[in-house]
Amino acid sequence: MSDELLRVGLLWLLRSRLRRWWRRLLIWLGIKRITPRAGELRPSRLVVVEELRDTGGVYRPKHRPQDPAKDPDEPYGSESSSRGQDHGWSGCTMAAGADAFAYQTHGDRLPWGGTLRHHQSDLEGGTDLYDLRDAWAAMGEELKVRSGAGWSALVDAHGAGRAIVVQGTGQVPGAGDFDGGHACSIGVETRSSDGAWLFGDPLCTDWQWIAPGSIRTWAERWQSSIAFATTTTTTEPEPAPTPPPAPPPAPCYSEAELDAAVDRAVDNALTLAGDEAVSVWLEWLREPRPLPADRWDRGAWADPELELEAIVDGDEEPDPCEPTAPASWSRGPMPDPVDDALDALLLTARWDSSAWRAAAWRPPETAGRRSR
């Protein structure tokens, strides 16, 4: 058993050394271009920038810096703190890739740079775009490496709504102060006022607006044909909503128009009042007239035995209806305002009584006369 363990241990050591040798060879030949480069002074701090205001338009993920003090996956698992520091401050490509990954999944998954770093095999120093592609593939997403396609291809990708990871060197554009080999992300937004692009420097605390020309100069110092990778999904800005129509101007009426409107309102009110009076009168007229039996103490409402006694005694006139005949309802008193009109004609108005309102119904020849 011990021999088997020894054999496995030797194979692992051999493969590990072979992998390191092969990695160093690819870096020496310039085939594998890692950021930061081997032997290059690594950054050790973040630059604090003002948080950009979210315009509420296209989706914008929270920027992922490469600071190991902020990255929850550095150190990863049982790794030492020094290992986490090494990965964090050399993890610009993975941190920039985390920004792009959020765009790729439209915010469904939000990894950090440390998450991506530990989903690929290169755990020494800096990493390149192909390492990032391996990490994405291990997490079920596709990153398209477009290195060598030139600046125009990067511009087209940005115009198509794709997030971008780009490598560069020298003074990084924006507030960052790192001038070594570096990788940054480019968001999908373009500022309408000046055409600046949303730019994510992993050594800054938030997104920045950077002119495309400054990004190009920085990227071409690393590779004239531009080293970059893009998402395969797009996030295009939402179209601006159609503005509501302007409200109509406030109406302005002349005094004559207002007087005419008042006259029309009065006419309509009188018409409605007249219609209501007519409906009341029609209802009253359609009711049957009261009949002799329509009395509470007579007709079908009377007790048949009492009616018989009245006839025998001759005290009351006999009931004109059969004792079991149904009574008809009376139409009731005459509706207003005829009652008021009759009161006005028959009664003298008095100042100390509500009868003074009868003046409204008094004939012209009696108008103005009041009793005292």
CA distances to 61, 241, 331 from 290, rounded to whole Å, are 88, 73, 7
**pLDDT classification of 331: cutoffs 50, 70, 90:** low
208-210, strands of its sheet edge to edge: 143-145, 228-231, 164-168, 182-190, 197-200, 208-210
Burial 284-320 (b: 16+ CB within 10 A, else e): eeeeeeeeebbeeebbbebeeeebeebeeeeeeeebe
pLDDT value of position 367: 43
The class level of CATH for 22-231 reads: alpha beta
**pLDDT classification of 355: cutoffs 50, 70, 90:** very low
Question: Per-residue pLDDT averaged across 163-192, rounded?
Answer: 94
Question: Per-residue pLDDT averaged across 330-342, rounded?
Answer: 64
Greater confidence (44 vs 8) lies with 44
In whole angstroms, give the CA distance from residue 167 to residue 180. 11
Task: Break the chain into its structural domains and give their ranges.
Answer: 22-231
Greater confidence (330 vs 99) lies with 99
Question: Per-residue pLDDT averaged across 313-322, rounded?
Answer: 55
- pLDDT for 120-164, tens place per residue? 988 888 899 999 999 999 999 999 999 999 999 999 999 999 999
- pLDDT for 103-121, tens place per residue? 999 999 999 999 999 999 8
- pLDDT for 251-301, tens place per residue? 888 888 888 888 888 888 878 877 777 777 677 666 666 555 555 554 444
pLDDT value of position 359: 45
> Model-level pTM greater than 0.85?
no
- Residue holding tokens 């590990």? 16
